[in-house]
Chain A
């Protein structure tokens, strides 16, 4: 008996405090995502935990250190470490960001803003090409959470769509980032989604944000330190209603709650994905 392709399912960010729960968790289609940068050590228990979890669940790798949006070519030593992590964990997907994070051998450990200029686009596409060629696989590129406009010459969605067209990369649509950028810069999410090539979206991220301590709701910060907010859930519903269901991650990097709390959010995402899949089947 053959099965159709499994429906896109929801996953959870894997945190060290949840290793044992993650290893023992059982849920249809459950997968986990990690930052490869956290698994670039020579050895140790952290790597072995991920070995064990990888035997039970698919893993995706979400990089934060290649600085693809920066002025320089991707750091070869870092690409080599990426290769070792891919070789060891055989991820189902890999992704990076429309951002920069390093300059002159200093790493800033943050996703810094890229000016949306034609020159930056050329450079970014060159770097995405290099990453895909070196790693021998398609990379999904995530839209940033934006706090600033930087003398932009083109629209962010156009920048991303053009990157897809030139490099053949996919997109990681971070719904929380889209919501934040819409709030902070006045971007229209519908118009943004209109410009994104639907087929390129290979993964979705959902996370929590918090208002800036100084500017309040006028400046939302992508903290990954809170539950997914109601308006982000609604935007997620609109995104998958428009593009179809995609593998969806509950992302959390700060104020880490109990594993069960993240699994509850995952179940909510899964229900929304299932509803869209059922609708698609009904329409087919």
Chain B
């Protein structure tokens, strides 16, 4: 059998009809359909598991064709489905049947951030006592960076509350909301993923730290943009929440 077999079989898997042109002895469509159904179902179920809040809000019957539509344009490119669906939120935003739920893409972004935080590398967070052990003049030179699990999202709709409620199994409400920006931080300081809205100033501060900037220069830069910003309080909050990575301060 020529190598074309693999390409033709793959094409059959991604088509709507169970016909494999390369097979000389054309098998029963139902037999080919077993493979096609397995492939599609694996992707749909992986997306359903990764986006439980989207699934809950839309219902399974709406979710399945939307997931299949995504799989058609973005099939898995890794040999594991654990983190499959990286761009599902963008796909939802352009999926016209979902137009009546304009914030669904933002809900998907939050589900995705939860998934990524859940599977992120385990590393210790920077604890208040680590900083307390340093001489005060060393602190402004620290560049702790953000913990590996931290994900920060700029949403177009203020849906963190809705998402958090549905994620924790609260009854579905059909509350109407108005579009407005909201920034959310999602992170896992230990076993459990946590999320919280953050102010624009806090978000600016954390993003600078995430880019590897030192505490001192970060405070000044954020103050420059947000004159009411309180860097001491923001640093204290970041430490107690566990947003920051461990401190490797070189005493020399």
Contacts and interface: CB of A to CB of B under 8 A. Distances in A.
Interface of A: 37-38, 40-48, 65-67, 70-71, 75, 78, 81, 100-110, 112-113, 115, 117, 119-120, 147-151, 184, 212, 214-215, 219, 221
Most buried by A among B1, B23, B32: B1
Contacts of A117: 1
Given A37-B82, A103-B10, A107-B77, 6 more contacts: A37-B79, A42-B148, A110-B39, A120-B1, A214-B30, A219-B34
Contact of B122 (A48, A67, A112, A120): A48
15 contacts: A37-B81, A42-B148, A47-B122, A66-B79, A105-B77, A109-B42, A109-B81, A112-B9, A112-B13, A147-B35, A150-B1, A151-B1, A151-B24, A214-B33, A215-B30
Contacts of B32: 148
Task: For the complex of A and B, list the 3 residue pairs with the smallest distance between their C-beta atoms, beginning with the closest.
Answer: A65-B79, A41-B119, A43-B122
B75 A106 contact: yes
B34 A221 contact: yes
A147 B34 contact: yes
B78 interface: yes
A40 B148 contact: no
Contacts of B33: 214
Given A108-B39, A113-B35, A44 B80 contact: no
Given A38-B82, A42-B148, A151-B1, A107 B75 contact: yes
Interface of B: 1, 3, 5-7, 9-10, 13, 23-25, 27-28, 30-35, 38-39, 42-43, 46, 75-83, 118-123, 148, 188, 191
Contacts of A149: 25, 27
Given A109-B39, A109-B43, A115-B1, A43 B23 contact: no
Given A41-B119, A45-B191, A108 B24 contact: no
A248 to B, nearest CB: 25
Contacts of B38: 109-110
Contacts of B31: 147-148, 184, 215, 219
A109 B7 contact: no
A219 B30 contact: yes
A46 B77 CA distance: 22
A109 B76 contact: yes
Contact of B118 (A45, A65, A66): A45
Nearest to A184: B31
A118 to B, nearest CB: 10
Given A40-B80, A110-B35, A70 B30 contact: no
Per DSSP, are chain B's interface residues mostly helix, strand or loop, or mixed?
loop
Most buried by A among B30, B31, B32, B123: B31
B121 A42 contact: yes
Most buried by B among A43, A45, A109: A109
A41 B10 contact: no
Nearest to A41: B119
B23 A41 contact: no
Nearest to A223: B38
A110 B42 contact: yes
A212 B34 contact: yes
A47 B6 CA distance: 34
Contacts of A41: 82-83, 119
Contacts of A75: 79
A100 B35 contact: no
Contact of A103 (B7, B83, B119): B7
Nearest to A66: B79
Most buried by A among B42, B76, B83, B123: B76
Nearest to B3: A71
A215 B33 CA distance: 11
A144 to B, nearest CB: 11
Contacts of B76: 106-109
B12 to A, nearest CB: 10
Contact of A37 (B77, B80, B148, B191): B80
B79 A38 contact: no
A122 B155 CA distance: 53
Contacts of A113: 9, 35
Contacts of A45: 118, 191
Contacts of B83: 41
A150 B5 CA distance: 10
A142 B78 CA distance: 22
Nearest to B79: A65
Nearest to B1: A115
Contacts of B9: 112-113
Contacts of B3: 71
A44 B188 contact: yes
